[in-house]
Amino acid sequence: MKLKTGDTVKVISGKDKGKEGKILSVDRKNSKVLVEGVNMVTKHTKPSAANQQGGIVHQEAALHAAKVMYVHKGKPTRLGVKVVQEERNGRTKNVRYRVAKSTGEVID
């Protein structure tokens, strides 16, 4: 999975199709992402020390990573990986960069 926490993504399928948001967390094992303000669910909570009242809470639920696309310069794009050999501290190392497939630009 090439998505990271903090990336801006757009939902491409499902009930929230077209919505954009920032990734709050990534579950690489299950290929799930938690996107801010997307896939909101209602959860009933019992009273606890943190929440004295309990009641109904609205929060984000995880989405499958295949349902979102990375947004680069305002447009959704696929992501690729570019491996470059660089000289660091007198050693040659292979460094991986994320690349936007649509433009070929290095993201980070």
Q: What is the CATH number of domain 8-76?
A: 2.30.30.30
Query: Is-contact 103 77, C-beta < 8 A?
Result: yes
Structure confidence by residue, pLDDT tens digits, 42-58: 999 999 898 888 899 99
Instruction: For 50-108, write each residue's pLDDT tens digit.
Output: 888 889 999 999 999 999 999 999 999 999 999 999 888 888 999 999 999 999 999 97
Domain ranges of the chain: 8-76
- Measured between alpha carbons, how far is 60 from 103 in angstroms, rounded to an integer? 31
Q: How far apart are CA 87 and CA 10, in angstroms?
A: 36
